[in-house]
C-alpha cells in the first residue's frame, strides 16, 4: 500500500498559523503544504503587504510575535515613529524588521517574480522547510460592503477595527485568478493524505481561497478527506471578528453554522467538545476535540486529532 | 538703504551641511536658503533616495549622526539585518528611522508632489525654519566614466567605495532640468545678499547644480557676490574623494585648482590660511580663514568669515 503523504492546510492568519505550527511539529518538509489566503493583501506606502502569508511564514520560522499574533518578535518601531513625525500614514503598523519582508517582496514582484517563488525563497532563507504557498499568484482583493460603504479589507479590518457592520463580501479578481499551480496539483494528487481547513474566519480567510476559479470543484473531486476545524468556541472566536461578521450577515455565530457554510466541501468537522452536540444533520463526521490552542502542546495535539479524523475517513490507496 | 537679506548656499552632503549649519546659527529663517545637489539621488529598493538633501535636512534639524556624517543619530539597523537575512541588497545602508524619509518621500513623489514641496513639508515637520531646496524638481543623475565603465553615482560612491578611477563625469538630465523656481528667483533678486558655494566636492556636488539649464548665466548675472569655500586643505579633502577624483581628471588636487574650476563665477574665495598664498592670478578676493570645521563654533566662525567676505564686496543697495 502506497503511503498517503501530503497534507494541504488552508489558512488565514493567526488561528490558521497556530494549527499549521501544530502540523509542522508532526509532518516533515514534504508532508505539509500550507496554503495562505492572499485576499487580505494590499498595497500600503508603496509596499506589497501579505499579512496572512507573513503570519504563517513567521510562525513556521519561529519568528512570530506571541504577544500580537502578527509581525515579528523582538521587533522595533523606529520607522513608525519617524514616519509619524513626517506626517505619514500610521494606521497600519509596520515594524522595522518586518519592513524588510515588504520592501524585498515589493522589489521582486516589480521584477516580475511570482509571489509563490518569492515566498519559497524567503522560507528557504528563514529556515522554513515546509511549503508555504499563496493561494494564487494573481491578485485577489477582499472588499466588504458595510454601513459605511464598500471598504478595502485592511481599511475595514485595521483602520476601522472591524467596527462597520458588514452586509456583503466580495473577492475581487477571484473568479479569474488561478489557484497557485503547486496547490492545485496537490489537490489532484490521488495520494493526497488530507485537506485541512484551519480554524480561520470562514468568511474572509477561507472563502477567498474557495472563490478561486475551479477551486471548489477541485476540492470536491479531491481523493483525500477534507477536514475543517471550527474557528468558533461556544459561539465566540478566539480572536477576530468572525462571530460579529456572521451575525451581521444573518448567520448564526456558532460552530454549527460554520459547518453549514462548508457543507458539500468537507468530510469531517473538528469542534470544541461542548459544541459537538449542536452540530447535527450535517451528514459528516463531527469530531469533538480541544480546539483552543493556548500552548504549543495544544497546537500539536489538535493537529494530531485533525489528522486522525482525516486518516479514519481515508480509503487505503491500492 | 534697503537691507540685503537672503543668502543662498549651494551644498552637497557632509561638508556643505557643516557650513550650512554654521550659517543657520547666524541667519534667520527668511535669511537663508540652502540649495542641495540632487545629482546623487537614486532609486534603490524601490525608494527615491536624496542623500545630500537629507544630510542637509537632518543637519539643520539637529538630527544628524555626528559619527557617520550621513543618516540619523540614535539610528537602529534592524531593517538592514532582516533584509540581509532575506537576501536583499545591503550595500547601501538604510537605518530604520531614515527609511521613513525615503518611504514617505517616494509615496508623495508617486502622487505627483514635487520634491521641493515634499522637502518643505518635511522641514516644517522636523522644525527646520530655514529653506532647504533641491536644486531641481526634475531628475538629474550624476554618472561617471571610470576604468570600470560608466557607473551610476551611488554604485561608484558607496558600492565601489570610490575605488574606480574616474575619467569623465556626466550630469544626465541637467541640460533640460529647470532649476527649482524659488532658487532661481532668489538668484534674480536684486537684494540678494550673497551666494555661497559650500566646501563640497566641486566635481560631483556643486557642478551638478551649475550644470542646470541657465544656472551659470543666472549666477553670472546675479547682483550679489558669489563666494566659494575651498573643500581642500593642504591638497586633501576633509572627507570624500575630491582630491582623488581631481587627480584622476588631470587637475591639481589643490585649493587653487578648485578656484580655477569656479573661475568667472565667483567673486571671492575663502581658503585655509596655509593655502592662500598659492591662490594667485585669480582676479578675485582670496580670503584666508580657518576652513576646517571640527566644532560647532568653527562652523559658525567660518560662516561669519564667508559672510564678511561677501559683504565686503557688496555695493550698497540704493
Contacts of B98 in chain A (CB under 8 A): 82
Residues in chain B, how many? 318
| A155: Cβ contacts below 8 Å, ≥ 6 apart | none
How confident is residue B280, by pLDDT bands cut at 50, 70 and 90?
A: confident
Q: What is the mean pLDDT of residues B65-89?
A: 94
DSSP A31: G
Domains of chain B: 7-313 (3.40.50.10680)
Cross-chain CB nearest to B88 (options A72, A88, A104): A104
How confident is residue A316, by pLDDT bands cut at 50, 70 and 90?
A: low
CA distance A27 to A31: 5
How confident is residue B27, by pLDDT bands cut at 50, 70 and 90?
A: very high
Q: What is the mean pLDDT of residues A61-71?
A: 91
Determine contact, residues A303/A23, Cβ cutoff 8 Å: yes
Residue A318: predicted pLDDT: 47
Searching chain B, which residue's CA lies closest to the CA of residue A109? Answer: B46
Determine contact, residues B140/B74, Cβ cutoff 8 Å: no
Residue of A97, A112, A122 for testing the chain B interface, max B β-carbons within 10 Å:
A97
CA distance B253 to B251: 6
Cross-chain CB nearest to B79 (options A88, A97, A106): A97
Contacts of A125 in chain B (CB under 8 A): 85-87
Contact A125 B86 (CB under 8 A): yes
pLDDT by residue (tens digit) across B226-251? Answer: 999 999 999 888 888 999 999 999 99
Cross-chain CB nearest to A125 (options B79, B85, B101): B85
- Considering chain B, what percentage of its residues have pLDDT values greater than 70? 97
Contact B107 A85 (CB under 8 A): no
Closest Cα of chain A to B145: distance in Å? Answer: 27
Q: Helix or strand or coil: residue B127? A: coil
- Name every residue in B having a CB less than 8 A away from some CB of A: 45-47, 72, 75-76, 78-83, 85-88, 95-101, 103-104, 106-107, 110, 121-122, 125-126
pLDDT by residue (tens digit) across A195-210? Answer: 999 999 999 999 999 9
Can you read off the three cell numbers belonging to residue A24? 509542522
Residue B4: predicted pLDDT: 66
CA distance B217 to B222: 8
Between A and B, how many residue pairs show a Cβ–Cβ distance under 8 A?
104
Contact B87 A104 (CB under 8 A): yes
Residue B318: predicted pLDDT: 46
Can you read off the three cell numbers belonging to residue B307? 559672510
CA distance B203 to B195: 18
Q: Is the pLDDT of residue A34 over 50?
A: yes
How confident is residue A4, by pLDDT bands cut at 50, 70 and 90?
A: low
Q: Is the pLDDT of residue A317 over 90?
A: no
Question: CA B146, B147, B151: angle at the middle one, nearest 5?
Answer: 35
Number of H helices, E strands in chain B: 13, 14
Cross-chain CB nearest to A121 (options B78, B87, B104): B87
B50-53 contacts, C-beta under 8 A, 24 or more apart: B50/B105, B50/B115, B50/B134, B51/B13, B51/B154, B52/B11, B52/B12, B52/B13, B52/B16, B52/B205, B53/B115, B53/B119, B53/B132, B53/B134
Residue B166: predicted pLDDT: 97
Q: Is the pLDDT of residue A315 over 80?
A: no
CA distance A301 to B234: 75
CA distance B315 to B294: 33
How confident is residue A1, by pLDDT bands cut at 50, 70 and 90?
A: very low
> B120 or A235, which is more confident?
B120
Closest Cα of chain B to A92: distance in Å? Answer: 14
Can you read off the three cell numbers belonging to residue B7? 543668502
How confident is residue A280, by pLDDT bands cut at 50, 70 and 90?
A: confident
Closest Cα of chain B to A164: distance in Å? Answer: 28
| B92: Cβ contacts below 8 Å, ≥ 6 apart | B44, B49, B154, B158, B159
Can you read off the three cell numbers belonging to residue A269? 468537522
Q: What is the mean pLDDT of residues A126-150?
A: 98
Q: Is the pLDDT of residue B192 over 90?
A: yes
**Spatial CA neighbour of B313 closest among B185, B195, B186, B184:** B195
Q: Is the pLDDT of residue A93 over 80?
A: yes
Amino acid at each position: 500500500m502506497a503511503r498517503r503523504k501530503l497534507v494541504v492546510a488552508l489558512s488565514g492568519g493567526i488561528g490558521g498559523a497556530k494549527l499549521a505550527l501544530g502540523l509542522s511539529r508532526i509532518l516533515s518538509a514534504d508532508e505539509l503544504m500550507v496554503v495562505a489566503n492572499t485576499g487580505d493583501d494590499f498595497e500600503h506606502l508603496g509596499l506589497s503587504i501579505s499579512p496572512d502569508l507573513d503570519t504563517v511564514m513567521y510562525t513556521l520560522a519561529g519568528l512570530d510575535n506571541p504577544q500580537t499574533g502578527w509581525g515579528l518578535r523582538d521587533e522595533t518601531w523606529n520607522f513608525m515613529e519617524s514616519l509619524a513625525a513626517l506626517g505619514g500614514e500610521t494606521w497600519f503598523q509596520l515594524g522595522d524588521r518586518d519592513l524588510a519582508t515588504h520592501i524585498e517582496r515589493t522589489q521582486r514582484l516589480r521584477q516580475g517574480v511570482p509571489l509563490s517563488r518569492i515566498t519559497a525563497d524567503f522560507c528557504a532563507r528563514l529556515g522554513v522547510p515546509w511549503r508555504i504557498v499563496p493561494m494564487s499568484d494573481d491578485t485577489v482583493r477582499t472588499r466588504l460592503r458595510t454601513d459605511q460603504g464598500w471598504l478595502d479589507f485592511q481599511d475595514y479590518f485595521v483602520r476601522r477595527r472591524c467596527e462597520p457592520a458588514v452586509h456583503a463580501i466580495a473577492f475581487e479578481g477571484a473568479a479569474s485568478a488561478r489557484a497557485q499551480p503547486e496547490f492545485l496539483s496537490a489537490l489532484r494528487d490521488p495520494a493526497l493524505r488530507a485537506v485541512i481547513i484551519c480554524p480561520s474566519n470562514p468568511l474572509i480567510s477561507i472563502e477567498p481561497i474557495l472563490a478561486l476559479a475551479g477551486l471548489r470543484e477541485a476540492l470536491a473531486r479531491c481523493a483525500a478527506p477534507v477536514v475543517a476545524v471550527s474557528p468558533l468556541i461556544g459561539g465566540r472566536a478566539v480572536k477576530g471578528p468572525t462571530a460579529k461578521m456572521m451575525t451581521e450577515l444573518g448567520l448564526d455565530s456558532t460552530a454549527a453554522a460554520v459547518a453549514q457554510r462548508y457543507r458539500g466541501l468537507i468530510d469531517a468537522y473538528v469542534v470544541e467538545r461542548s459544541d459537538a452536540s449542536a452540530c447535527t444533520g450535517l451528514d459528516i463526521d463531527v469530531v469533538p476535540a480541544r480546539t483552543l490552542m493556548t500552548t504549543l502542546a495544544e497546537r500539536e495535539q489538535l493537529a494530531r486529532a485533525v489528522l486522525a479524523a482525516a486518516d479514519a475517513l481515508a480509503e487505503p490507496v491500492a
